[in-house]
Amino acid sequence: MRRNGLRAAPTGLKTPFSEATSGIFSGVSVPSGVRINDETGRSARQGGNKMMCNRNRFAAIAAAFIALVFGVPALGDGAAAVSGDAAHGAKVAYTCLGCHGIADYRNAAPNYHVPKIGGQHEAYLVSALAEYRAGARPHPTMKAQAGSMTAQEARDLAAYLATATPVASSGHATGALPAAATTCSACHGADGVGITADYPTLAGQHADYIEQALKAYRKGGRQNAIMNGMAAALTDADIHAIAAYYAGQTPSLWIPAATR
């Protein structure tokens, strides 16, 4: 296997995605403020003016808070309701650890670290897998991985990755929050620990992966209504400073080991 410039990884999890209509992936793009493919990000980019971007950013935050207040189900909630079997997840994670379990493992083109997924929020992991499967995130290898597991396996994997050593906020951040990250901390926390299960933890994540993700949101290849809006106004220098800041936070996301 040599997709996307990645080295061959052990294969497995070849079962067809049998629960597509009844499982988690049917329920993930529901919330009003968090809809994939929304116009928000695109119009912000096309408008190309700062006021517009800021309005979109505000609208995205407002929508997220409205979703919280009125209890609109957030991304992945449907999945989190049925908890995964972490012990089974540890077994099926074998394939994943061929990339995610190796320190310094990289995506070759473009070149950046495979993200750390240990200790990430469970609901976010499930929704991330759903987004690869749906194509909202355009990574061919991860699309294939996410598309070849059952909904239950996705939940089990997320439970295993999230619960062994979950990353919890220590209540204080390392270093000074870059000015461009002021808004970000409302959801991702000043110390990079997502304040709800739907907001990914960034603490200790590889800086080059964070940069890659933000540029993909800004360009629109990676689709998320909130994050397309958030990234639209960021400069390359902002992105660089933000990535370094979050990568330096502790406690950190970790790299699951094959022996765990």
Does residue 37 interact with ligand HEC by CB under 6 A?
Answer: no
Does residue 80 interact with ligand HEC by CB under 6 A?
Answer: no
Angle of helix 122-134 relative to helix 151-163, nearest 10 degrees?
Answer: 140
Q: How far apart are CA 12 and CA 145, in angstroms?
A: 9
Q: How far apart are CA 170 and CA 177, in angstroms?
A: 16
Which residue, among 56, 45, 26, 51, has the nearest Cα to 226 in the 3D structure? 56
For ligand HEC, the closer CB: 100 or 133? 100
Report H helices in the chain: 39-47, 50-69, 77-81, 86-92, 94-100, 122-134, 140-147, 151-163, 185-188, 207-219, 225-232, 236-247
> Is 120 within 8 Å of 188 (Cβ atoms)?
no
For ligand HEC, the closer CB: 133 or 137? 137
Q: How far is the CB of 128 from ligand HEC (least distance, A)?
A: 4
Does residue 200 interact with ligand HEC by CB under 6 A?
Answer: yes
Does residue 9 interact with ligand HEC by CB under 6 A?
Answer: yes
Does residue 117 interact with ligand HEC by CB under 6 A?
Answer: yes
Which residue, among 42, 35, 232, has the nearest Cα to 134 in the 3D structure? 35
Kindly tell me which residue out of 66, 108, 168, 186 binds ligand HEC, with binding defined by CB under 6 A.
186
211-217: long-range contacts, CB 8 A cutoff, minimum separation 24: 211/112, 211/239, 211/240, 211/243, 212/110, 212/112, 214/239, 214/242, 214/243, 215/239, 216/137, 216/138, 217/41
Q: Is the peptide bond before 251 cis (omega within 30 degrees of 0)?
A: yes
Site string for ligand HEC, 145-184 (x = CB under 6 A): x---x-------x-----------------------x-xx
Q: How far is the CB of 59 from ligand HEC (least distance, A)?
A: 10
Does residue 130 interact with ligand HEC by CB under 6 A?
Answer: no
Candidate ranges 37-45, 78-86, 169-177, 205-213; the one touching ligand HEC (CB under 6 A): 205-213
Candidate ranges 39-47, 78-86, 137-145, 164-172; the one touching ligand HEC (CB under 6 A): 137-145
Kindly tell me which residue out of 78, 101, 115, 204 binds ligand HEC, with binding defined by CB under 6 A.
115
* Interacting residues toward ligand HEC by CB under 6 A: 6, 9, 13, 60-61, 64, 95-96, 98-100, 107, 114-115, 117, 125, 127-129, 131, 137, 139, 141-142, 145, 149, 157, 181, 183-184, 186-188, 198-200, 202, 210, 212-214, 224, 226-227, 230, 234, 242
